Amino acid sequence: MRIAVLSDTHIPINAADLPPAVYEGITGADMILHAGDMVELSVFEKLSKIAPTRAVCGNMDTGACGAKLPKKDLIKINGVSIGLIHGWGPPFGLIELVKNEFKDEKVDAIVFGHSHTPISDVKDGILFFNPGSPTDKIFAPYNSYGMLEIEKGKITPRIIKI
């Protein structure tokens, strides 16, 4: 199973739409996860036409996004459990903050955003995965999104530079 992972798209603030390379890369994915800061609900609707999409609310998501999307989600699929959350506050300590949000659940991975910095790191047996931002490089050297391959209960993460 291929899961495309996005966060911090900030549409239409940082861009009018996702870059064409993102659409090319996520076409054919079995599922899409968005870790918040879509800004416009139209992003969710557009992604949902590509593949089943799960998303959470970020700190920049107000109005329709804030009303429709949960603050966090737990996705159980193909033998793995993935926590989905945006994050908040300064980027320092963000991994501990999101880890604490799922302390009562047994998760194999936590997908988060907020910092715009791509991260793929395993700590205490949990994959912490931030796909970065496809539209904003404020705290990152490049724009990016992510892909998670799940096979036989194992997650293989990949950060994709745009």
- What is the number of other CB atoms lying within 10 angstroms of the CB of residue 106? 9
Q: Structural domain boundaries of the chain? A: 2-161
131, pLDDT greater than 90: yes
Mean predicted lDDT score pLDDT of the chain? 94
Whether omega before 52 lies within 30 degrees of 0, making that bond cis, reads no
Q: Considering only CA atoms, which of 153, 151, 131, 123 is closest in space to residue 18?
A: 131
pTM of the full structure: 0.95
Kindly state the tokens that stand for 72.
């966090």
What are the phi and psi torsion angles at 64 (to 5°)? -60, -40
One of 3.40.50.1700, 3.60.21.10, 2.40.110.10, 3.40.605.10 is the CATH number of 2-161, namely 3.60.21.10
Beta bridge partners of 148: 3, 157
pLDDT digits (tens, 9 = 90+) for 7-65: 999 999 989 999 999 999 999 999 999 999 999 999 999 999 999 999 999 999 978 88
